[in-house]
């Protein structure tokens, strides 16, 4: 269990943009849409949100779906739009659009291992082309007045752990913060994130660094910060399992006991999110697909979670999924599992027996990235 931490300022600056608390919701394609970001922000404790990655190429070709990903609600601040591509000019143009769309920060993706992205030689493949990456940093920086950040992995593989060099180069070209996911591109999502390996990047830089990868609990956040020396944490999949995780981390660093939501808050949160998904999805079919996916993440490792997932697998309307979720939570309440969630989550994440990054690999690999 986490121990109480003395209250201290847990914040950092991305240029003029204050990130307080020093927590961020990681960009996740197909997950961190406007609705999900609003949900996590609504929990409190989220210092920064980032959009799903947006193709600079599609933006420059005026493809509506790319623009939709970059839409920002007026009340979402500070928020970063993440862009990817390999043409410095298109990246610069896309960054300008991001500024016009109201982004507080523009983030460049150097971390995505997706074949769809790396075969176009962007994403983490850029870590193998430092000179191209440098030109991209310079072009983007020259195009915008908002801060620029870069998200990367430790390197391409264990022989090329060049995050410190790339991050230093980004800093010299004007980057205001970098995020390092403690895995190499070749690792994809296998093994565990190496938080200590992020320290070499932190040691090279004046600008802040956020550590990312496998942060699922308050204790993980404390350990990741201690091992890496980073200024803040970025959490992705952990927020899908436990939407309160950033709030809990922020509570801890503010010297408060981490918030523990009552059982029915968990149910209501899931149902509220369903509402957002339905409002955003153009068809019931699409809404159902997203509802199934989200419920899968949300109930991973929880009692009777497998049964629920099985039930909703055979559900084809939003109503049927809602009914299944209602029934599930009623059952948990009837059986008095109400307060066991944190214990269950922690038990699950300390079970390393599967050797697969604490049961998260499956989630990551069933997604595009």
Ligand X SMILES: Cc1cc2nc3c(=O)[nH]c(=O)nc-3n(C[C@H](O)[C@H](O)[C@H](O)COP(=O)(O)O)c2cc1C
Would you please indicate which residues are annotated as catalytic (active-site) residues?
112
| DSSP single-letter state for residue 198 | G
In the complex with ligand X, the residue whose CB is nearer, 214 or 231, is 214
CB of 280 to ligand X, least distance (A): 17
Contact window for ligand X (CB under 6 A) among 133-141, 142-150, 167-175, 206-214: 206-214
Contact window for ligand X (CB under 6 A) among 133-141, 156-164, 213-221, 275-283: 213-221
CB of 329 to ligand X, least distance (A): 25
Tokens describing residue 315 = 């559900």
Task: Work out whether strand 23-25 and strand 105-110 pair parallel, antiparallel, or are unpaired.
Answer: unpaired
In the complex with ligand X, the residue whose CB is nearer, 214 or 346, is 214
The binder of ligand X chosen from 214, 220, 251, 346 (CB under 6 A): 214
CB of 369 to ligand X, least distance (A): 4
Cβ–Cβ under 8 Å, residues 29 and 240: no
Site string for ligand X, 108-137 (x = CB under 6 A): -x-xx-------------------------
In the complex with ligand X, the residue whose CB is nearer, 30 or 42, is 30
CB of 214 to ligand X, least distance (A): 5
CB of 226 to ligand X, least distance (A): 17
CB of 145 to ligand X, least distance (A): 23
Which phi and psi angles does 249 have, rounded to 5°?
A: -65, -45
Contact window for ligand X (CB under 6 A) among 20-28, 58-66, 224-232, 341-349: 20-28
Tokens describing residue 51 = 């959009």
Site string for ligand X, 336-365 (x = CB under 6 A): ----------------------------x-
Place of tokens 């591109």: 185
Cβ partners under 8 Å of residue 1, min gap 6: 219, 346
CB of 327 to ligand X, least distance (A): 28
CA-nearest of 218, 230, 231, 210 to 80 is: 210
Q: Is 100 helix (H, G, I), strand (E, B) or coil?
A: helix
Contact window for ligand X (CB under 6 A) among 57-65, 234-242, 304-312, 332-340: 234-242
Q: Helices 218-228 and 245-253: crossing angle, nearest 10°?
A: 60
Cβ–Cβ under 8 Å, residues 99 and 144: yes
Question: How many other β-carbons are positioned within 10 Å of the β-carbon of residue 129?
Answer: 15
In the complex with ligand X, the residue whose CB is nearer, 140 or 332, is 140
The reply on whether position 151 binds ligand X by CB under 6 A is yes
Calpha distance 224→197 (Å, rounded)? 10
Contact window for ligand X (CB under 6 A) among 139-147, 210-218, 224-232, 272-280: 210-218
How many residues touch ligand X (CB under 6 A)?
A: 25
What is the CA 148 to chain-centroid distance, rounded?
18
The upper half-sphere exposure of residue 362, i.e. CA atoms within 13 Å in the direction of its Cβ, equals: 9
Residue nearest to ligand X (CB): 236
Site string for ligand X, 157-196 (x = CB under 6 A): ------------------------x---------------
Distances (CA, A) of 185 to 114, 163, 314: 9, 11, 36
Residues in region 26-85 near ligand X by CB under 6 A:
26-31, 52-53, 82
115: buried, middle or exposed (CB in 10 Å: 19+, 13-18, 0-12)? exposed
Task: Work out whether strand 79-84 and strand 54-55 pair parallel, antiparallel, or are unpaired.
Answer: parallel
Q: Helices 34-43 and 263-280: crossing angle, nearest 10°?
A: 150
In the complex with ligand X, the residue whose CB is nearer, 111 or 261, is 111
Interface residues toward ligand X, by CB under 6 A: 26-31, 52-53, 82, 109, 111-112, 151, 181, 212-215, 235-238, 364, 367, 369
């Amino acid at each position: 269990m986490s121990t109480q931490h003395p209250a201290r300022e847990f914040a950092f600056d991305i240029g003029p943009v204050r990130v307080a608390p020093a927590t961020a919701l990681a960009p996740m394609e197909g997950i961190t849409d406007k609705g999900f970001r609003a949900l996590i922000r609504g929990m409190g404790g989220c210092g920064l949100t980032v959009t799903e990655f947006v193709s600079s190429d599609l933006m420059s070709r005026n493809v509506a779906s790319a623009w939709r990903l970059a839409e920002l609600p007026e009340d979402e601040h500070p928020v970063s739009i993440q862009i990817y591509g390999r043409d410095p000019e298109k990246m610069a143009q896309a960054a300008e659009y991001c500024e016009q769309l109201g982004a507080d920060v523009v983030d460049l993706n150097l971390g995505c291992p997706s074949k769809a992205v790396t075969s176009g030689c962007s994403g983490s493949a850029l870590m193998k082309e430092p000179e191209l990456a440098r030109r991209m940093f310079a072009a983007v920086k020259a195009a915008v007045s908002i801060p620029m950040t870069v998200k990367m992995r430790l390197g391409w593989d264990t022989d090329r752990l060049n995050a410190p060099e790339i991050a230093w180069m980004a800093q010299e070209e004007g980057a205001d913060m970098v995020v390092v996911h403690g895995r190499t591109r070749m690792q994809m999502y296998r093994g565990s994130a190496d938080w200590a390996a992020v320290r070499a990047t932190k040691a090279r830089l004046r600008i802040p660094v956020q550590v990312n990868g496998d942060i699922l609990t308050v204790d993980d956040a404390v350990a990741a910060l201690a091992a890496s020396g980073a200024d803040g944490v970025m959490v992705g999949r952990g927020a899908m399992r436990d939407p309160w995780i950033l709030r809990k981390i922020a509570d801890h660093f503010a010297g408060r006991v981490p918030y523990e939501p009552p059982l029915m808050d968990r149910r209501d949160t899931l149902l509220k999110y369903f509402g957002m998904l339905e409002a955003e999805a153009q068809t019931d079919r699409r809404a159902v697909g997203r509802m199934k996916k989200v419920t899968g993440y949300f109930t991973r490792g929880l009692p009777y979670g497998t049964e629920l997932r099985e039930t909703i697998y055979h559900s084809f309307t939003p109503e049927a999924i809602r009914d299944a979720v209602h029934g599930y939570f009623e059952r948990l309440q009837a059986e008095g599992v109400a307060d066991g969630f944190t214990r269950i989550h922690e038990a699950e994440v300390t079970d390393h027996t599967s050797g697969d990054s604490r049961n998260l690999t499956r989630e990551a690999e069933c997604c595009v990235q």
